[in-house]
Amino acid sequence: MNYELRIKNYSLKYLILLVFLVSGFSVKSQNTYKIALLKYNGGGDWYANPTSLPNLIQFCNKNIHTEINKEPATVEVGSPEIFNYPFLHMTGHGNVIFSHEEQKNLRTYLLGGGFLHIDDNYGMDKYIRREIKKLFPNTELVELPFSHPIFHQKYNFPNGLPKIHKHDGKRPQAFGIFVGNRLVLLYTYECDLGDGWEDTEVHHDPEEKHLEALKMGANIIQYVFTK
């Protein structure tokens, strides 16, 4: 089977999944679903924060009653396997490069109903903005207002993203790419949610910050699976 046909088949598979989600989805019916960490090229440490996604999944399953597989997958940007996962998470500190084929694959995934959360782990910003522009050359990243529903799921964040780590001392910002009215890509900047999701002994965050990060992460998961 050639690559283009495989992409179309995976896209169709995912669209069928979306019909199921829209037609009767409850956050309690995700026991067959995994979320995935996105592996990319360019030298950045895509593998950073190894305990973050497992901790977020555990928190979500306990507190917003999801039943997401406790073990997240790892999937490469250019792989048709991304169509198996309704939610992708991406993080790191350094350079990011999407090849032409990877751009095409990821854009097809996002246009077909997938969702990508990118969390700048400090140092990724200038590289990921360049690659996002390649993905959507005619669409601008826009800052989400504090009134956006993603901040008002089970947990209320009236002032937007919590500030988990200081970094440059700038305010945390949530940016998005919208296709029509649908948010397909969320980019969290100067926030460091992923570090906050990690085991507390890794970064020695106070429990309050750890909990803030997990609650915001749960909001993102809830928004994606119920929007």
Mean residue pLDDT across the chain: 88
Could you tell me what percent of the chain has a pLDDT over 70?
Answer: 86
CA–CA distance, 153 with 199 (Å, rounded to integer):
24
Q: What integer pLDDT is reported at residue 166 of this predicted model?
A: 76
Contact assessment for residue 174 and residue 150, using Cβ atoms and an 8 Å cutoff: yes
Per-residue CA distances from 173 to 23, 125, 163 (Å):
33, 12, 9
Q: How sure is the predictor about 22, in pLDDT bands with cuts at 50, 70 and 90?
A: very low
Q: How sure is the predictor about 4, in pLDDT bands with cuts at 50, 70 and 90?
A: very low
pLDDT, one tens digit per residue, over 89-100 is 999 999 999 999
pLDDT reading at 43 higher than 50: yes
3-state class (DSSP) for residue 157 = coil
**What is the torsional sign of CA 57, 117, 201, 45?**
positive
- 123 sits in the region (left: phi over 0; alpha: psi -120 to 50; else beta) called left
In this structure, of 13-22, 149-158, 180-189, the range with the lowest mean pLDDT score is 13-22
Could you tell me what percent of the chain has a pLDDT over 90?
Answer: 77
Q: What integer pLDDT is reported at residue 1 of this predicted model?
A: 38
pLDDT, one tens digit per residue, over 176-204 is 999 999 999 999 999 999 999 999 888 78
Q: What integer pLDDT is reported at residue 210 of this predicted model?
A: 94
pLDDT reading at 66 higher than 60: yes
Burial 126-138 (b: 16+ CB within 10 A, else e): ebbbebbeebbee
pTM (2 d.p.)? 0.86
Overall average pLDDT of the 169-178 stretch: 94
pLDDT, one tens digit per residue, over 104-148 is 999 999 999 999 999 998 889 999 999 999 999 999 999 999 999
- Nearest-Å Rg of the Cα atoms of the chain is 16
Burial of 183 (0-12, 13-18, 19+ CB in 10 A): buried
Backbone angles phi, psi at 138, to 5 degrees: -105, 10
Return the residue matching tokens 């690659």: 131
pLDDT reading at 20 higher than 80: no
Contact assessment for residue 157 and residue 144, using Cβ atoms and an 8 Å cutoff: no
pLDDT reading at 7 higher than 90: no
pLDDT reading at 5 higher than 60: no
Cross-strand pairs, 41: 97
The domains located in the chain, with CATH, are 3-226 (3.40.50.12140)
Q: What integer pLDDT is reported at residue 32 of this predicted model?
A: 64
